[in-house]
Structure 1
């Protein structure tokens, strides 16, 4: 149990520490931002980066929640059998 918690903490810590490196764009997004910046609009980039992070994080967060509840249910079921 303690090993699993250590791995979870290490994983979350790694994700948090590498967050600045994750803020990147695909070629089309980069072209859109460069076009908007050349026209004087500099606010699009921040919103686009947040959207990319949201799309990146959502599936992992959903799977983590499902795994957590599955683990809790399995642990409770195992405790009831003994």
Structure 2
């Protein structure tokens, strides 16, 4: 239960801090403002979508690797519990 509370506070903190991550760099912002003043609004939306895409990809890759790692560890643990020889070998006496 204590770990769940710690993880939820961490996630909540990351959500609070992520509100500032929508900002753009100075050159991108100048380019978008220049295009908006000329009447082109689609470039700004595409730029923001690209930034969000690049932001989420590393986290998505880490989540997929973590899932497969967890699944492999769980299957290995179940095999160890099913085999009596491994159970006695790994037990602390």
Structure 1 CA distance for aligned equivalents of residues 64 and 49 of structure 2: 21
Larger radius of gyration: 2
Q: Which runs of 5+ in 1 are unaligned?
A: none
TM-score, with structure 1 as normaliser:
0.75
The number of residues matched between the two structures is 80
Structure of higher RCO (CA pairs closer than 8 Å, 6+ residues apart): 1
Give the TM-score normalised by the residue count of structure 2.
Answer: 0.67
Q: Do structure 1's residue 35 and structure 2's residue 39 form an aligned pair?
A: no
Unaligned stretches of 5+ residues in structure 2: 82-93
Q: Runs in 1 of length 4+ with deviation above 3 angstroms?
A: 9-21
In structure 2, the residue matched to 1:25 is 24
Let me know the Cα RMSD of the aligned residues.
2.4
